[in-house]
Amino acid sequence: MNTKHCICLRTVSSYLAAGLLLATTACSKTQPTVKKMAAGQEFSGFLKDYAALKANPNLGAEAITFVSTDARKNLHGYLAIMVDPIEIYIATNADENKVPESSRTAVANYFRYALTKAVSDAYPVVDAPGPLVLRLRAALIGIDSGGAVAANDLPADSKPLAQALNIGKVGVEMELVDSETGERVAAMVDKATLGAGAEVGAEQFSRVEKFAAAREAFDEWASRVRQFLDSSMQLTGEDAERADRSYQPYGVDSSFASKEAVLK
């Protein structure tokens, strides 16, 4: 074989190899891994550790929570929060072909919106990690396929899903971590079945009255996360007494306040 033929073959082989690499990369990008609840497991595995979570009477029997008591890493010490994209775990027996990425994205996007709205007046919401910034990680667990979507029943401007999603047995797992170190500050597993009987059948389902029950369920899950935050940030015991002793009304001279305390 002469030199020209060798060079030509090497060139063709190089193009074929490059094309194969591009095709493989494109496939890996368009086919994300579907996360599924493992059979026989109590939890999804979204959280690295569940051992420290305990029953929380403020949220009923369906929820277990954890709050750090570390003086350096606790909810009181943070000034802002960022909300990560929501992860989806489909039900154990769900057919992943009937819960495509577009459908999972629809519920993930709305729940992220609901969570952001729920916590926004507790902490300013930011887009990047930094000092004294919490990162809220959350997952919806147990999404399943539902019935057929009758497109004729939907508003003309709504985009129907190929098949509805059933959220009747969905729960939520979430945690708050330090945005820089990843250290856990608080966590919650909420198995309240708020979506019983509810389905999602359109990408912008929150605007469609037919799917109002699903929207309300996601809003309530977000509200329970906020309820957990509020109850966890309430000072009790010695912390509350210390805060009361240090309280000083605006405009009151500190020396006068201390003298008044002595007289009492």
Residue 237 to residues 59, 204, 233: CA-CA distances in angstroms?
A: 21, 46, 13
Note the pLDDT of residue 22: 43
Query: Which two three-digit tokens encode residue 107?
Result: 């519920």
Closest CA to 101 of 168, 199, 29: 29
Q: pLDDT tens for residues 18-76?
A: 443 444 444 444 445 789 989 999 999 999 999 999 999 989 989 999 999 888 888 98
> Quick one: pLDDT band at residue 1, thresholds 50, 70, 90?
low
Q: Is the dihedral of CA 127, 129, 130, 135 positive or negative?
A: positive
Give the Cα separation of 226 and 251 in Å (integer).
Answer: 33
Closest CA to 140 of 210, 201, 222: 222
Q: What is the mean pLDDT of residues 10-24?
A: 43
> Quick one: pLDDT band at residue 133, thresholds 50, 70, 90?
very high
> Quick one: pLDDT band at residue 120, thresholds 50, 70, 90?
very high
Give the Cα separation of 73 and 220 in Å (integer).
Answer: 28
Q: How far is CA 107 from the centre of its chain?
A: 11
Note the pLDDT of residue 155: 84
Query: Which two three-digit tokens encode residue 128?
Result: 């990047």
Residue 110 has pLDDT above 70, yes or no: yes
Query: Which two three-digit tokens encode residue 112?
Result: 């992220």
Give the Cα separation of 98 and 106 in Å (integer).
Answer: 14
Question: What's the one-letter identity of residue 81?
Answer: I
Strands 160-166 and 133-145: antiparallel
Question: What's the one-letter identity of residue 152?
Answer: N
CATH architecture of 31-41+56-235: 3-Layer(aba) Sandwich (3.40)
Query: Residues 81, 126: contact at Cβ < 8 Å?
Result: yes
Average pLDDT score over the chain: 82
> Quick one: pLDDT band at residue 112, thresholds 50, 70, 90?
very high
Closest CA to 107 of 194, 34, 204, 236: 204
Q: pLDDT tens for residues 68-89?
A: 988 888 898 999 999 999 999 9
Q: Is the dihedral of CA 174, 175, 179, 180 positive or negative?
A: negative
Strands 87-90 and 80-83: unpaired
More reliable by pLDDT, 164 or 22: 164
Q: Which residues contact 220 (CB under 8 A, 6 or more apart)?
A: 192, 194
Percentage with pLDDT > 70 across the chain: 77
Q: What is the mean pLDDT of residues 254-260?
A: 45
- Domain limits, the chain: 31-41+56-235
